[in-house]
Amino acid sequence: MRYYNICVKILLSVFVLLTFKLGDTTAQNIENSTMKREFKEVIKEEWRFVPSEFELFRAEIYTINNNHSALFVFDYTKKNLFKLSIEGSEIVDMETIGNGQGSGPGEFRNPTDMCVSLTSKGEKLVLIDSDLARVSIWDVTSGEFEKSFNPKKFSPSRVSCTPNKIFLYNATGSKNGDYLVYNFDKELIAGIKDNRKKRNTFLDAGEIVADDSSLFFSSKGRSELKKFSLIDNAFELSNSLVEAVVENKTDIKEDKKTRTEKRSKDFKYQTRGIGEYGDYILVLYSGEKHGHGNTIDFYNKRTLVYEFSVQLEFWSISMDVQGDRIILDSYYKDRKEYMFMAYKIELVE
């Protein structure tokens, strides 16, 4: 009898502990099917630009400079990098600043992301090429190619810039970490390891954005938003939030020689873009099978708690945020092609 009572007390203690922990976690989880978004009208359209008018038919990688006077795009049809000058609400000029396809200085194989930051040596454009495993840097004002470097045994797929740091990410990672932090002198200054128990390079792909003290990651295949903070000169995971519970799956086929992986037929994308503005992290979210999103969720930068959302006029496939501007690669249904749309954030604190 005494043994029975002890067992009951142990079971009750475990139940209470689990209830407390699960309750604490569930408070942050937002079910995809029942998520109650609060929509606010805090963005205003500034301009639209259809790349095909400049004979750019696959301008899929892009960013805008700090004073919003230039849009940089890489076009896969021309396999080159271009600078488009903006005056008011119009694109007035286009300049070729890349050196075309190849592996030489300023040349490209398969770029996957770019960013712009105002450094102590001027405004710089950083572009990464996953096939070349290379980081390349241009001067924004002159459009001149400056330098490049190859991270050791690491092929970056995503990049984010701050005035003195370049943040790189790849789902496969390296012995130095899943996220690498360089300065603009090409020196590795930090490696950040994601201690994920079960790794899946397909599901663990995602988008990153950073400020001087934190790195934020939002997954494309899993329901997660993470924050790594600079603590004692090292970046450590400080917050992790499940923003919407979606059990995405991949179909894997493997034999002795090869392993192939692709999304299952009921796969739903998550993040299509991430950015930071003021006290917020912005996530372009898609719960659609076609992978486009028409909702931008605003999260508290400090806690990652959901705050509110913005509904977009057009479905969009990617997003870039620079200061108080949001640039979207949106689908123009009437013309059956993609266009860039610029919005100004008009958020009254």
| pLDDT tens-place string over residues 47-95 | 999 999 999 999 999 999 999 999 999 999 999 999 999 998 899 999 9
β-sheet bridge partners, residue 343 = 45, 326
| More reliable by pLDDT, 18 or 142 | 142
| pLDDT tens-place string over residues 162-202 | 999 999 999 988 999 999 999 999 999 999 998 877 788 88
Confidence of residue 4 (pLDDT cuts 50, 70, 90): very low
Q: In the chain, what percentage of residues exceed pLDDT 70?
A: 89
User: What pLDDT does residue 339 have?
Assistant: 97
Average pLDDT over residues 218-237: 92
| pLDDT tens-place string over residues 244-275 | 677 788 887 888 777 778 888 888 888 999 99
State the Cα–Cα distance between residues 215 and 189, nearest whole angstrom.
14
State the Cα–Cα distance between residues 340 and 349, nearest whole angstrom.
28
pLDDT at residue 29 greater than cutoff 50: no
User: What pLDDT does residue 103 have?
Assistant: 97
pLDDT at residue 31 greater than cutoff 70: no
CB 170 within 8 A of CB 219: no
pLDDT at residue 98 greater than cutoff 70: yes
| More reliable by pLDDT, 257 or 287 | 287
Strands 188-192 and 90-96: unpaired
State the Cα–Cα distance between residues 319 and 209, nearest whole angstrom.
12
Confidence of residue 349 (pLDDT cuts 50, 70, 90): low
Confidence of residue 136 (pLDDT cuts 50, 70, 90): very high
CB 343 within 8 A of CB 43: yes
User: What pLDDT does residue 33 have?
Assistant: 38
User: What pLDDT does residue 35 have?
Assistant: 62
pLDDT at residue 157 greater than cutoff 90: yes
User: What pLDDT does residue 150 have?
Assistant: 97
Which residues have a Cβ under 8 Å from the Cβ of 311 and sit 6 or more positions away?
Answer: 39, 294, 295
